[in-house]
Amino acid sequence: MRRVSLLAKVDLDTCIGCKTCERVCPTLTIKVKDRKAVVDEQRCTGCGGCEQRCPVFAIKLVERDDPYTIEFKIVPEMKDKVDELCRKAKFHPEQIICYCTETRAEEVAAAVLAGNDTPEKISAATGIRTGCKIECVQPILRILNAAGITPEKPEGYQWYGLTPTLWDINEDVKKRYSDGGFRFDDDIEVFEKVINAKK
Amino acid sequence: MRKPIPPAKPKKSQYGIDPNLLKKRMAELPGITSVTVKELFPDTPDVIYPSEAGKEAIREATIKSLENVDMSMIKPENSVNICASHHGFTLLGGEAYTEMLKTVRDEIIRRTGCRNVRLRAGVGMRLRETEEYIKAFKLDEYFEGKAKGVAPIDKGIPIETEIGTLYGLNAIYDADFVVHCHNSDVREVHFHRQVDRAVKPFGMSYARAETRSTYHQNLGPRGANFTARAIFNSEFVQKKFAFATFLNMSPAGVVGVVSDNDLYKLNEKLTFDGLKYYGKIITLFGQLSDCIVGLDFPCPVPYVFASGVIYANFVSANVDLFNLESLAPYTWYTESFYGKDGKPLIPEIPPVNPKIKMVIHNYAWSGYPSAFFSTHTPTIVVGREQADLMSRCPMNAKYMDHAVIADTLDAAMEFAYKVTGTDKVLIFDGAAGGINVSESLAKEMLEKAPIVAEKVDNELMPIWLKQRGIDPLALAK
């Protein structure tokens, strides 16, 4: 769940149309048209990605007149499928996968099962990845992957690809670095306990 | 009663309140005194900074540390990126780290004839933070217009590693060579657990969001530290890596500057030094009784400093953070393992330090997801402006759901004393060389420090070193 109280505003006199904002927006709600950035005000989540990366400081975050909340409701009939998808992606359904918005795996899984098939659509549907925009990209990609979906990559830098998890580290790597303090198998054990926790 | 040590000055930043709104520092409260690190632990090494020599001591130490570093791979026609991180600028006002960066640049130019030396300074989650430091320390002028702040959502570059594809920042690697300039304070020991501390920025400040997400979501609370090693070991990075230079830190300040072409050799030394220098103060923090905590430093909530240790470490100090057997009470992994009822999903997740009875947020920045802290410890935020700052932050929409507001610091303290029933106060305000505390807590720290020191030297240090595969005798050779 994400409360949205801010909105990106572009100073058109300062904007140089470089498209940096477009390339970092996690919900694809800012686009450059006729060499000027245009915000879809209805859908902007006020995450500040564009404001923070604009090279000429043409974007500011302002208070919205119409604050709103983004939340994807899980319908009870979906619960079993949601839980199954979370666990397939190696998450407990209640596990928090976005620390800024406290979005849990089950909300993202439900959004995926409802047809949101890219990280951008999932961010727009749940609010995930609209805080820091950094830490939760892999859980989203993992849940999509577990659902058998290969998302279409946007033209910008929103995300590049799925990366390894603990379960992908082969025995040879584990053995070679066994005295380094990495404790791969201990961490797998912790994860497995969490994934299978009864709640 | 000794006078408090002057706290770190507030900084003008888009991530904090206007310094003019900060009416009173916690060190000005009645009954606050100070204890130096040296008083607590007499074997604390002498520091070169802060000292009377000022930043010149850093320049001299940096030049000396570079004497045995091979720079012959860098030719006059090459380009070099000096890679830096935001954390260094938060240490002791930032002057020491800045001077180290400038000196490394000057020495590269002097010794190789290469003039295309750029600064690439990475960030955490405050994506313009190093831009602010570059401006404040006039680094863009010093680097002749070639200084740049880089962020994890900037253009990336794939890096093939032995565990699969990870992603670095294009601007970090867009030179023929990279020079890694960092600091050794244990800082986020709750995350890195003092495993590959010197390598970590390759998986963090210099990395794309995908890689950082791998660290904090995919590889586990201890396994995550392999992320940086995987990237650093890659053929791509090895071809570009020239050398590393570090401020070697202790809780009292800068012990020295160390440089090496072999990052792992440097890593082993800094891992050992970090355990030795910080092990005692963090263990002592874990022994303290009930107290009120003050946040009063220009950094986000978990990163405010007391005697070189950040608040996030105190939140986890009820567990031995250096012992790899245990899980830390605060990391993003443990945060993620709390269910909807507010309880951990598994019993192995330890609670946050129960000795923290109340937190006074007198001055700390936004720009880091901090709701975990206000959820788990009663928190009073001083001033409406600061509360609004947190609520406006996209990473902290829920921080104020769990905190209350006091108009003044005095009102907050009056409430805290009354409700907690303790007069013990521990202030995270960046006081250099020591720590500002209430008289009662100073007494307790001085009484407990010798016992803690003995335990660390004789009991804990051998365990910590063994778990990291470090042989102190081999290191000494």
Tell me which residue in B213, B219, B398 faces A137 most closely, judged by beta carbons.
Answer: B213
Backbone phi, then psi, for B343, in 5-degree steps? -110, 155
| pLDDT value of position B248 | 98
Q: What is the DSSP string of B431-477?
A: -TTEEEEEHHHHHHHHHHHHHHHHHIIIIIHHHHHHHTT--HHHHH-
Q: Are B299 and B364 in contact (CB under 8 A)?
A: yes
Q: Is B328 exposed, middle or buried (0-12, 13-18, 19+ CB in 10 A)?
A: buried
A173 touches chain B (CB under 8 A): yes
Going by pLDDT thresholds of 50, 70 and 90, the confidence category of residue B203 is very high
Residue type, B85: S
pLDDT digits (tens, 9 = 90+) for B3-43: 999 999 999 999 999 999 999 999 999 999 999 999 999 99
Going by pLDDT thresholds of 50, 70 and 90, the confidence category of residue B476 is confident
Beta-carbon count within 10 A of B235 CB: 10
CA distance A148 to chain B (A): 19
Q: Are B134 and B101 in contact (CB under 8 A)?
A: no
Tell me which residue in A94, A99, A193 faces B332 most closely, judged by beta carbons.
Answer: A99
For chain A (199 residues), the mean pLDDT of every run of 10, in chain order, is: 95 98 98 98 97 98 96 96 98 98 97 98 98 97 98 96 97 94 97 94
| pLDDT value of position A47 | 98
* CA separation for the pair B34, A85 (Å, rounded): 54
Residue type, B123: V
Q: Is B23 left (phi over 0), alpha (psi -120 to 50) or beta?
A: alpha
| pLDDT value of position A12 | 98
> Is B158 a residue whose pLDDT tops 80?
yes
CB contact under 8 A, A188 and B214: no
Whose structure tokens read 């990559």?
Answer: A153
CA distance B340 to chain A (A): 6
A62 touches chain B (CB under 8 A): no
Q: Are B234 and B161 in contact (CB under 8 A)?
A: yes
Q: What's the CA angle centered on B247, arms B92 and B48, to 5 degrees?
A: 65
User: What percent of chain B is modeled with pLDDT above 70?
Assistant: 100
Name the CA radius of gyration of chain B, rounded.
Answer: 21
Chain B CA closest to residue A155: B155
| pLDDT value of position A168 | 97
Chain B CA closest to residue A160: B210
Strand locations in B366-433 (E): 379-382, 403-406, 425-428
Tell me which residue in A95, A135, A169 faces B337 most closely, judged by beta carbons.
Answer: A95
Strands B434-438 and B291-300: unpaired
Domain ranges of chain B: 19-42+282-454, 55-276
Q: Are B313 and B282 in contact (CB under 8 A)?
A: yes
| pLDDT value of position B7 | 98
Residue numbers in B near A186 (CB within 8 A): 220, 222
| pLDDT value of position A1 | 87
Residue B17: helix, strand or coil by DSSP?
coil
CB contact under 8 A, A183 and B212: no
Q: List Cβ neighbours of B184 (8 Å cut-off, separation of 6 or more).
A: B197, B198, B246, B247, B248, B249, B270, B273, B274
* CA separation for the pair B191, B175 (Å, rounded): 30
What the block records as the tokens of B65 is 């540390």
* CA separation for the pair B70, A192 (Å, rounded): 46
Residue B325: helix, strand or coil by DSSP?
coil
Residue of B298, B367, B254, B302 lying closest to B8 (CA atoms): B298
For the beta sheet containing B147-150, the strands, ordered from the edge strand earlier in sequence to the opposite edge, are B147-150, B116-122, B79-85, B177-183, B241-250, B253-260
Chain A CA closest to residue B228: A182
CA distance B317 to chain A (A): 20
Q: Are A169 and A191 in contact (CB under 8 A)?
A: no
Residue numbers in B near A187 (CB within 8 A): 219-223
B226 touches chain A (CB under 8 A): yes
B371 touches chain A (CB under 8 A): yes
CA distance B149 to chain A (A): 10
CA atoms within 13 A on the CB side of B6: 5
Strand locations in A71-184 (E): 96-98, 103-104
pLDDT digits (tens, 9 = 90+) for B228-240: 999 999 999 999 9
Burial annotation B439-453 (CB, 10 A radius, 16+ → b, else e): ebbbebbeebbeebb
Burial annotation A29-48 (CB, 10 A radius, 16+ → b, else e): bbebeeeebbbeeeebbbbb
CB contact under 8 A, B210 and A137: yes
* CA separation for the pair B130, B446 (Å, rounded): 38
Strand locations in B113-176 (E): 116-122, 147-150, 156-161, 164-169
* CA separation for the pair A185, A192 (Å, rounded): 10
B252 touches chain A (CB under 8 A): no
Provide the chain A residues 30-59 that lie in CB contact (below 8 A) with chain B.
Answer: 45-49, 52-53
What the block records as the tokens of B36 is 């130096």
Provide the chain B residues 86-125 that lie in CB contact (below 8 A) with chain A.
Answer: 125
| pLDDT value of position A10 | 98
Whose structure tokens read 């990845």?
Answer: A129
User: Per CATH, which fold does B55-276 belong to?
Assistant: Rossmann fold (3.40.50)
CA distance B92 to chain A (A): 26
Q: Are A163 and A88 in contact (CB under 8 A)?
A: no
Q: Which of B218, B264, B320 to mutate to test the interface with A (most CBs of A within 10 A)?
A: B218
> Is B95 a residue whose pLDDT tops 80?
yes
Q: Which of A190, A192, A195 to mutate to test the interface with B (most CBs of B within 10 A)?
A: A190
Residue A48: helix, strand or coil by DSSP?
coil
| pLDDT value of position B472 | 83
Q: What's the CA angle centered on B292, arms B289 and B298, to 5 degrees?
A: 125
Give the bridge partners for B249, in sequence order. Answer: B254
A5 touches chain B (CB under 8 A): yes
A8 touches chain B (CB under 8 A): no
Tell me which residue in B165, B226, B348 faces A182 most closely, judged by beta carbons.
Answer: B226
CB contact under 8 A, A182 and B225: yes
ipTM entry: 0.98
Whose structure tokens read 């010149």?
Answer: B56
Peptide bond into A67 cis (omega under 30): no
CA distance B469 to chain A (A): 5
